[in-house]
């Protein structure tokens, strides 16, 4: 028989009792655990509506091997070590020396009333799951475990950058849920979000020290499944990350833009170029980029407004092609060289085949389209080659009345602004050539 000594003040009584198996501590009055005392329950605590469970000292210790259900009032200055579920239906208060350790396997933190912890530490094993919106005023320590908020929100009210601690732990959420953090500095705040086997955190660095709260969720899977169609994208985007995306929002405080980073595993997730956002389609943030990091790469963008719930994802650039024709325009029967740039490989319309350049001899004005491909992403560009018809044979008059070296040749047709004329020298718009010496001349149009 294991004898467990329990020291507690129940009203005015100090008691020592033995517990042999699973049991209930049902409190409907005052249960006071003073400083340096231990209340050890090898079972459940049910603090009833008239009950007051008070941990009065920083070293007041309550150890519960199963659930705590609170229908009354719990006020803690000390330490609660819990191996079962936290079920709060009424009032929990604390001071800044209070700790709650979740030390069991899979545990839930819920009840019909929200709980504001001071320090909440995840220990033991399994997944710790929220059953309501919960708050932490001091430190949230994930250690190496998953905190699954489901569709609820865990809010850390402490604006210190180090208010969330972890080794390999992370916060997972479903639609509507997330991890929220209070901020009061322009430092980068880590949001350690992800799912099992896919840790993809984010950083939010507010642009000012204005008191704010930001909320982040990492959504596992294709953004299209939540209504953000990846195929509906701006022309400069080739692809939107199909593996995951983030939802970010400033949920409290005056408008406070932020610099953000979203992290990814370059080996598993592939290579990306920019950071995009959804409005009615996916657009790239101006100035966004991706960067090499250790152990995770990241996409970054500065001065982003998160005033509304914003889906954010990594994107790949569509190739930006340019194409030219030289010379252009040309006369009928002449050739021109088409040249494309901006991609790795090229394919031309009109049966021209592949390659960065092509020589063509169109019989009439023709538009050529080239498709460029880089790393599976394509873009198109086009160029129009203008073909001018050959002019008709010119007619002319010769005037030799001025004498030797003063001859005049005047082209009489064709005439017009579209024509220039030469007799072997530079072309001119004037169809008349003066002061000509005796001899043969060739008229060029």
* Count of Cβ atoms closer than 10 Å to residue 158 Cβ: 19
Residue 397: its pLDDT value, please? Answer: 87
* Count of Cβ atoms closer than 10 Å to residue 141 Cβ: 20
Among the listed residues 390, 428, 392, the one whose alpha carbon sits nearest the alpha carbon of residue 409: 428
* Burial degree of 382 (CB within 10 A; 0-12, 13-18, 19+): exposed
C-alpha span between 419 and 427 (Å, rounded): 9
Residue 274: its pLDDT value, please? Answer: 97
Among the listed residues 117, 115, 126, the one whose alpha carbon sits nearest the alpha carbon of residue 148: 126
Collapsing DSSP states into helix, strand and coil, what is residue 76? strand
b/e sequence 218-228, b meaning 16+ C-beta within 10 Å: bbbebbeeeeb
The answer to whether 340 touches 356, Cβ cutoff 8 Å, is yes
The answer to whether 51 touches 10, Cβ cutoff 8 Å, is no
C-alpha span between 70 and 89 (Å, rounded): 6
User: What are the per-10-residue average pLDDT scores of the chain (445 residues)?
Assistant: 37 33 83 96 96 97 97 98 98 97 98 98 98 98 98 98 98 98 98 98 97 98 97 93 98 96 97 96 97 97 97 94 94 94 93 95 95 87 92 83 83 86 90 87 83
C-alpha span between 125 and 2 (Å, rounded): 25
Contacts of 321 (CB under 8 A, 6+ apart): 340, 341, 342, 343, 370, 372, 379, 380, 381
């Amino acid at each position: 028989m294991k004898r467990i000594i329990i020291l507690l003040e129940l009203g005015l009584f100090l008691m020592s009792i033995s517990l042999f198996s699973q049991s209930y501590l049902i409190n409907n009055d005052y249960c006071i655990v003073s400083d340096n005392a231990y209340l050890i329950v090898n079972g459940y605590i049910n603090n009833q509506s008239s009950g007051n469970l008070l941990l009065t000292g920083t070293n007041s210790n309550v150890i519960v091997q199963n659930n705590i259900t609170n229908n009354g009032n719990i006020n803690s200055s000390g330490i609660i070590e819990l191996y079962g579920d936290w079920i709060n239906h009424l009032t929990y208060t604390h001071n800044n020396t209070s700790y709650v350790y979740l030390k069991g396997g899979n545990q839930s933190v819920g009840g019909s009333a929200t709980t504001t912890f001071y320090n909440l530490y995840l220990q033991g094993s399994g997944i710790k799951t929220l059953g309501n919106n919960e708050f932490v005023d001091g430190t949230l320590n994930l250690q190496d475990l998953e905190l699954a908020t489901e569709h609820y929100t865990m809010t850390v009210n402490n604006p210190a950058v180090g208010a969330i601690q972890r080794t390999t732990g992370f916060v997972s959420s479903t639609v509507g849920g997330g991890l929220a953090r209070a901020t009061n500095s322009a430092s980068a705040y880590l949001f350690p979000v992800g799912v099992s086997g896919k840790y993809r955190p984010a950083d939010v660095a507010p642009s000012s020290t204005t008191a704010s709260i930001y909320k982040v969720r990492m959504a596992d899977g294709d953004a299209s499944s939540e209504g953000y169609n990846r195929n509906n994208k701006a022309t400069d985007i080739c692809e939107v990350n199909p593996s995951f995306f983030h939802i970010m929002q400033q949920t409290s405080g005056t408008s406070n833009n932020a610099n953000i980073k979203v992290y990814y595993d370059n080996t598993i997730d592939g290579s990306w170029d920019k950071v995009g956002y959804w409005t009615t389609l996916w657009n790239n943030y101006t100035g966004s980029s991706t960067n090499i990091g250790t152990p995770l790469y990241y996409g970054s963008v500065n001065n982003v407004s998160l005033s509304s719930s914003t889906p954010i994802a990594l994107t790949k650039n569509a190739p930006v092609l340019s194409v030219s024709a030289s010379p252009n325009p040309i006369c009928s029967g002449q050739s021109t060289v088409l040249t494309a740039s901006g991609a790795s490989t090229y394919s031309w319309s009109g049966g021209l085949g592949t390659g960065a350049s092509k020589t063509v001899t169109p019989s009439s004005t023709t538009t050529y389209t080239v498709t460029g491909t880089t790393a599976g992403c394509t873009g198109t560009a086009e160029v129009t080659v203008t073909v001018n018809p050959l002019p008709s044979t010119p007619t002319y008059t010769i005037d030799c009345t001025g004498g030797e070296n003063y001859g005049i040749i005047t082209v009489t047709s064709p005439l017009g602004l579209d024509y220039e004329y030469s007799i072997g020298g530079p072309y001119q718009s004037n169809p008349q050539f003066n002061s000509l010496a005796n001899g043969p001349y060739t008229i060029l149009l």
